[in-house]
Amino acid sequence: MDKQRIVTGGLAAHVKREIAAMRRLNHPNIVRMHEVLANQKKIYFVLEFAPGGDLFSKVAKCRFSEDLSRRYFQQLVSAVRYCHSRGVYHRDLKLENLLLDENWNLKVTDFGLSVVTHRSRSPSDTDGLVHTMCGTPAYVAPEILAKKGYDGAKVDIWACGVILYVLSTGYLPFNESNVVLMYLKICKGEYTVPKWMSPELKQFLSRLLDTNPQTRITIDEIIKDPWFRIGYKDEELCSDHFEMKDGEDGGLKSLNAFDIISYSSGYNLSGLFGGREGDEMFLSTVAPEEIIERVVEAAEQERLRVAKKNKWWVKVDGCHSRNFTLMIEVKRLTVDIVVVDVSWKECESNRGPEIWKSRLRPRLSGLIYQPDGLVRSN
């Protein structure tokens, strides 16, 4: 992805949302994001390969049988339920965003419109609703069109209903060349079902495509529905072994590409799109303990006070005035490479950046590892 186009096209927030969403997710029916790489001009996403293409192209050729529709719907619900349990709401579920792997299993992708919430947030903090207009017209829920705020989970369930309808019939439930007429049908819940559709599926669809979000079927109710449960195994939705856990190496925190984005001005997407003050990062192949000792030695040579330290971080401030604080922390990226994260806090003056850049950093230049093409701090 071209960074200049992202910025000029107003897509920076879109890109950051997708990364924030996908870094939380590890599920067999969700496309994995393995790495995020960047140089001065481009951002690269390394995604799981789904060679089967998307479901849209398959349904466009021929509608699915009810059994096959149910199989893919079960996999979709598994992925959606997992996302919701981790505070991620897709908001743009559609056939084009449902891919197939080499074994013809479903893979959800494209979280660019997703909203990420903090599950620990109290309902009293806000009304708990999303207030942005998102989604693809034919799949959009009626409450989004009402522009009164909506529940991301209920919006995803509506889209799942549209997807199930298309899988089973081969066409959209709300399909008009005139978008206004389409929206009117969506708001009224006006759609037809073919005569050959089973009564059980008709009833199930009516609960998914309920225009009232308060009475619309929930994910847990979907799992209990008789039509859904045919051929279904409960363990498919057990999320325990899909959990991602951060590793630690002897107390030294391990980092992956997403952590680099979170911690560094060089890889932080905010930095990529304009920079961030009060923080700097560099890579090093030197052992963490040696890095800390070199920082302590440089600070003492500059007559700065080492306030606190351990094997993985050191805190430095001024000897007398103490009007600034520098924190240098080491985090492991790979077996051979670590990330050195430097941050500063000002109390009275702007001395932190000056002391780091003009006095300490030159003494530590031998620690820095800078492979060609990596984004660097200024």
* Residues labelled catalytic: 92
A 10 A CB-CB count for 152 gives 22
CB 69 within 8 A of CB 156: no
> Is the backbone of residue 344 left (phi > 0), alpha (psi -120 to 50) or beta?
beta
Question: Which pairing describes strands 98-100 and 338-346: parallel, antiparallel, or unpaired?
Answer: unpaired
* Residues 233, 73, 112: CA angle, nearest 5 degrees: 120
Q: Which of 42, 47, 46 is nearest to 6 (CA)?
A: 42
- What is the Cα–Cα distance from 275 to 375, expressed in whole angstroms? 11
3-state secondary structure of 285: coil
Nearest Cα neighbor of 285 from 345, 369, 343, 218 is 369
Instruction: Determine phi and psi for 353, rounding to 5 degrees.
Output: -60, -40
Tokens linked to 61: 């050729």
Tokens representing 263 are: 């911690």
Residues 120, 121, 122, 123, Cα dihedral to 10°: -120
CA 30, 34, 268 angle in degrees (round to 5)?
110
Question: Hey, which bits of 164-318 come out as E strands?
Answer: 248-249, 252-253, 279-284, 304-309, 313-318
State the pairing for strand pair 248-249/324-332.
unpaired
